[in-house]
Amino acid sequence: MRILVVGAGATGGYFGARLALAGRDVTFLVRPRRAEVLRRRGLRITGLGTEEVLDPRWVTADRLDGAYDLVLLTVKATALGPALDDLAPAVGRDTVIVPVLNGLAHLDVLTGRFGAGRVFGGVAKVLTTLDDEGDIVRLAPPATLILGETDGGSTPRADRIGALLDGVPGMETEVSADVLGAMWAKWALIVTVSSVNLLGHGTVGEVVAEPGGERLGPAVLAEAAAVADASGHPLPAEQRAATAALVTEDGSPLTTSLYRDVLAGVHSEAEHLFGDLTARARTLGASTPLLDLATLRLRVAEGQVRRRQNALSAPRAATGRSPGRTP
């Protein structure tokens, strides 16, 4: 089976590299800037005392060579629209697309574009980041890819894809009969940690260290869990307990990429993760005052980014003086 990995960043680069090193037929679809890094340095995975270098097969959108059997979509929601335009020529009659974006809003976008029969649900659990050189730095051992049919159950094609991805060193693959439940669980985790960062304006450990800070994470988690429950995907008790422990850990340096985007003054997945969740809460009648406040915080930050960008792109006003005017 031909596999196209859309994106070669911290997530797609890691899983794609693992598959390629295990002998799977993998091609990365990348933008020109990332292509230049791959051309110059290769695809490098460092961290945890190891370094691996792969000379991957990659293409840019203008060089796609027909349909692929499996498309692993690993971009952020902020890049989803352009990515779908880029990968469209790779989608054939029997192509299966596995997106590993957080949240659920992208499923509607993908099924509207390519049809529900081509779209799986997916969750990536991996702790990686890109360094200043564009190399992938692995921060902790877990690396799991969960996928499955969005309407649940087991199918022969899901089993075939699971078998293709199984047995790859450095990653685990799980074919889930309830992939939407897994997606809800990760969504709740992401918005809970992000809300602690946003509302406490610090790392988990910095928030927990202050009086009352240890109550913030569990309170946000309760709101997210209520929305998941009202949607028909209650969070498993063990996952809820693990998330609660994560957001009350003393000294934890944990921040999410969404919070780091806000600090960097760039666009974040605000609407994809928070706007969509709070809109669902309103529809379902779930009360989410803390998530609403975090959503407002994100929208203010997004407005600030837009205004800065508009100011930079606006034509400069003329500075010459009109004839006859005194200074």
Best CA proximity match to 175, nearest among 94, 95, 120: 120
Summarised one tens digit per residue, pLDDT across range 138-178 is 998 889 999 999 999 999 999 999 999 999 999 999 999 99
Share of the chain above pLDDT 70, in %: 96
Sequence letter at residue 166: D
How confident is the model at residue 69, as a pLDDT? Answer: 97
Could you tell me the two tokens for 73?
């979509």
Q: Is the pLDDT of residue 11 over 80?
A: yes
Could you tell me the two tokens for 280?
């669902």
Pairing of strands 68-73, 58-59: unpaired
Q: Which residue blocks in 130-212 are alpha helix, DSSP H?
A: 156-165, 179-200, 204-208
Q: What Rg do the C-alpha atoms of the chain give, in angstroms?
A: 22
Indicate the pTM of the whole model: 0.92
How confident is the model at residue 322, as a pLDDT? Answer: 44
Asked whether 33 and 41 are in contact (CB, 8 A), the reply is no
Asked whether 65 and 25 are in contact (CB, 8 A), the reply is no
| Farthest-apart Cα atoms in the chain, separation | 83
